[in-house]
Amino acid sequence: GSKRRRSGASDGGAGGAQKKPPLTAEEIPELTRREWKKYEQEKARKILLTYGFGEWLKIQKQMLLEQKHFMHGVGDIRNLAFTFLLALKKTFESEKEEGAKKGEVKETNRIQHFINKKEEELAAEGAEDVSSLANEWPKIDKLGHSWLRKLRLLDGVRDAVLMFQGGEKTNKGQLDQLMETMADGSLPT
């Protein structure tokens, strides 16, 4: 009997010739200004919560591993992270008075300082609010505070690593202060 070939079998026919291989990080322009699909945005948020701010290339490479036809550049990822930070800031500020009532003033001040610092740093890098290209952030009202704490913790770890890698004489007091700040508050989930 004659066997039928599965579609996509390498027979030189039109089926396989039209498919383009996925792009590599180097082939994607830094800024594409494409709209974010919901699943891409959610995946990018999860990966941001793994690596933290500033790790744009790592985030992009992880996205490319998990999504073959991912087409956003590192500038797009930075802009989405900035947009996420602004959404977290809005949520945080609406909850801030509640935290102060509970006596969480120290934690609230640290998170506010973190938000301001990151917003300033990202804006200095040229980050833009791309809310018009993004979707709503599901569960931000319930999980936004713990996401902020996790991002702040990742930022502290990154700062500590940079202090060690810097080769310069790290002020032990600086490092102790950083570690103390990171240890404060309960660990986010």
Tell me: pLDDT of 188 over 50. no
pLDDT (0 to 100) of residue 74? 95
Whole-model pTM: value is 0.77
Mean pLDDT, rounded, of the chain: 82
CA distances from residue 51 to 61, 103, 138, 182 in whole angstroms, order as listed: 12, 30, 20, 16
Tell me: pLDDT of 46 over 90. yes
Instruction: In the chain, count H helices and then E strands.
Output: 7, 0
Tell me: pLDDT of 134 over 60. yes
The string over 6-19, giving b where at least 16 C-beta atoms fall within 10 Å of a residue's C-beta and e elsewhere, is eeeeeeeeeeeeee
pLDDT (0 to 100) of residue 160? 81
- Give residue 172's identity as a one-letter amino acid code: K
How many residues make up the chain in this entry?
A: 189
pLDDT (0 to 100) of residue 113? 94
Nearest to 131 by CA among 30, 36, 48, 40: 36
How far apart are alpha carbons 179 and 112 in whole angstroms?
A: 18
Share of the chain above pLDDT 70, in %: 72
- Please compute the mean of the pLDDT values over residues 62-87 and round it to a whole number: 94
pLDDT (0 to 100) of residue 8? 43
Look at 78 and 96; give whichever has higher pLDDT: 78
Tell me: pLDDT of 20 over 50. yes
**The three-state (H, E, C) secondary structure of 118-185, written as one string:** HHHHHHHCCCCCCHHHCCCCCCHHHHHHHHHHHHHHHHHHHHHHHHHHCCCCCCHHHHHHHHHHHHCC
